[in-house]
Each structure stands twice: as structure tokens, then as C-alpha cells.
């Protein structure tokens, strides 16, 4: 939100960059098979480093004068907000065969927690930024999610690029786990409209 002053001043930031776009996420695979130099490094940059760099660049815009803070209070309830949305299973659980997603989300969550504590320290010792809050939101599936195929050939093709020892150790439990995950239907995605309303509220 830009104020009426000459310089833009931020009252709230909602980060959705931390929710990875599924087609760009690494394919499910054992941790042992993860390519750290190429696959993980690229994913970590997109899902962890870039979002936090964006928030870092915007932080100075939150430092507004008392008069502008009163304006923010009138418009937005008195609190400045940084809201970071994270995929719940990646950030809090770390499911098998999704090590890249889990490590990136956990790192982002830790960075946000450190920022929250630093802002809290600043509020206690200097009285500054006492009306700023950093919020982590665990997000499940949002929007329409198709039904992935449970054909064993899909997972059989996935393991062909693994080494012989990786296949001997992980192939059977991998196929079993992936079929089980894609066969579950107890949880349904939330509509985008409902998700947006919850975050904005």
C-alpha cells in the first residue's frame, strides 16, 4: 500500500513467492539422488533466496514516521505486517522424496523467525518497529489439483536415472510411497478465493 506522501511507504507485504510452483519443483527422489549443484541450487535460489531478498529490499519502506504510523493505524488497524506463506508439509514435516522442498521451506521459515526476533529486540530496546509483525502461514493445497496417475510405470520411469544401488535400495519403497500419496483422497484443496480472504483478514 502506497501512502499519499512523496515516498512510497509500505504497510503490509504478503509473500507468495515462497509457495513453489509445482511444475518447477524438483521431481520426487531420494535425498541420496538429489543433485545439489544444479537441481537444488536453482530451486533454493527461486524458492528461498529470492523471496527473502525481496523482503529484505522492502524492509526500509516500513520505517515510517509517527504521523504515517497513525495513518496506517486508521487504514490497516495499527499493525504493519510481513506475511510469509509456506507449504505446510515441506516447512513442518519434510516428507520422503521431497528433500529439496523441505530444506528450502525450513530455511525460509528459520529466516522469518530470526527476522521476527530481531524486530522484537528492536521494539524492546529502542521502541522502534514495535507495531511490525512477521507472520508465517502454513499453506496446504490451494486451487484445483488434478488427480495424478497412479500407474506404476510413471514411477518406474522415474527411477531409471538412479544408480543401480539407489534403485535396489529405494525403488520399491519409493513406488509404494508415491502410489499411496497419490491414492489418498481425504484432503481437498482450498479454493483460491477462500485462501485470499483468510490471508487478507
pLDDT digits (tens, 9 = 90+) for 2-39: 445 556 677 888 898 888 777 788 989 999 999 999 99
In the prediction, which pLDDT does 1 show?
47
Sign of the torsion formed by the C-alpha atoms of 58, 61, 63 and 68: negative
In the prediction, which pLDDT does 149 show?
45
pLDDT at 72 over 60: no
pLDDT tens per residue across span 75-114: 656 678 899 999 988 888 888 999 999 999 999 999 999 9
pLDDT tens per residue across span 108-147: 999 999 999 999 888 888 766 667 889 999 888 776 655 4
pLDDT tens per residue across span 146-186: 544 444 556 677 788 889 999 999 988 888 888 777 655 55
Of 51 and 24, the structure prediction assigns the larger pLDDT to 51
Amino acid at each position: 500500500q502506497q501512502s499519499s506522501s512523496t515516498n512510497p511507504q509500505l504497510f503490509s507485504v504478503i509473500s507468495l513467492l515462497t509457495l513453489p510452483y509445482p511444475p518447477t519443483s524438483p521431481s520426487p527422489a531420494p535425498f541420496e539422488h538429489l543433485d545439489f549443484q544444479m537441481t537444488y541450487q536453482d530451486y533454493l535460489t527461486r524458492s528461498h533466496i529470492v523471496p527473502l531478498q525481496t523482503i529484505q529490499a522492502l524492509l526500509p519502506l516500513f520505517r515510517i514516521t509517527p504521523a504515517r504510523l497513525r495513518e496506517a493505524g486508521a487504514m490497516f488497524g495499527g499493525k504493519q505486517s510481513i506475511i510469509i506463506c509456506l507449504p505446510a508439509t515441506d516447512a513442518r514435516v519434510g516428507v520422503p522424496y521431497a528433500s529439496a522442498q523441505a530444506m528450502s521451506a525450513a530455511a525460509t521459515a528459520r529466516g522469518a523467525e530470526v527476522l521476527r526476533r530481531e524486530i522484537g529486540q528492536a521494539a524492546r530496546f529502542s521502541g522502534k518497529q514495535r507495531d511490525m509483525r512477521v507472520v508465517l502461514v502454513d499453506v496446504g493445497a490451494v486451487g484445483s489439483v488434478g488427480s495424478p496417475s497412479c500407474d506404476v510405470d510413471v514411477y518406474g520411469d522415474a527411477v531409471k536415472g538412479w544408480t543401480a544401488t539407489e534403485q535396489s535400495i529405494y525403488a520399491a519403497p519409493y513406488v509404494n510411497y508415491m502410489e499411496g500419496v497419490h491414492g489418498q483422497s481425504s484432503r481437498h484443496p482450498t479454493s483460491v478465493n477462500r485462501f485470499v480472504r483468510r490471508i487478507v483478514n
